Amino acid sequence: DYPNVAVSLNNLALLLHDAGKPGTLPTDADGRRHFYGHELAGAALAEKTLRAGKYPVAVARAVMVLIRHHLRAANLVRGEGGARSARRYAAAVGEWFPGGLALAVADRLAARGPESTAAPADLLAHCRRLAHQWFARRDERGPPQLLNGHEVMKLFPALPGPKVGAL
């Protein structure tokens, strides 16, 4: 509903998504470097950075979700995993699914620059298909449930059960 907000969140996530790499750079026995766990370290660092910058908590959480799961999105963008993986990723990131795909495409294309073997048109077409499927499933489900019955009962303990159900 607010495209500028989504773009700003994606820009923050894109800027900070690999911030955890320096702290997760071990070298294996063969001399190869890995960044195992950088997505978790990056999410924590992004939260700390955004909170220090006085960003709203909701912004920090959304950026953290995108960063924490950006490798899962990258796998989807590369065509790894199927519909089940896409559903699990969608459940993890919720409304930020399309933004997560955009982050993964940008990351993939920027990782190797002009030497990238990824064909931008193919990546974008695949992401477009995934996003269309996500929007179709979202439209079938309707709007998200804001509160469940237990939460309503905590807010309004005097209401009897049938009235809570009507809410």
On whether the CB atoms of residues 116 and 123 are closer than 8 A, the answer is: no
> CB under 8 Å to 28, separation ≥6 — which residues?
34
| Euclidean distance between CA atoms 72 and 160, whole angstroms | 44
On whether the CB atoms of residues 161 and 155 are closer than 8 A, the answer is: no
DSSP secondary structure letter of residue 65: H
pTM of whole model > 0.85? no
Q: What is the pLDDT along the chain (167 residues), one digit of tens a residue?
A: 445 666 688 889 988 988 889 888 888 888 888 888 888 999 999 999 999 999 888 889 999 999 999 888 888 887 787 888 888 889 899 888 888 888 888 888 887 666 766 677 777 888 888 888 888 887 777 666 677 777 777 777 767 666 666 66
Query: Angle at CA 45, nearest 5°, toward 29 and 52?
Result: 160
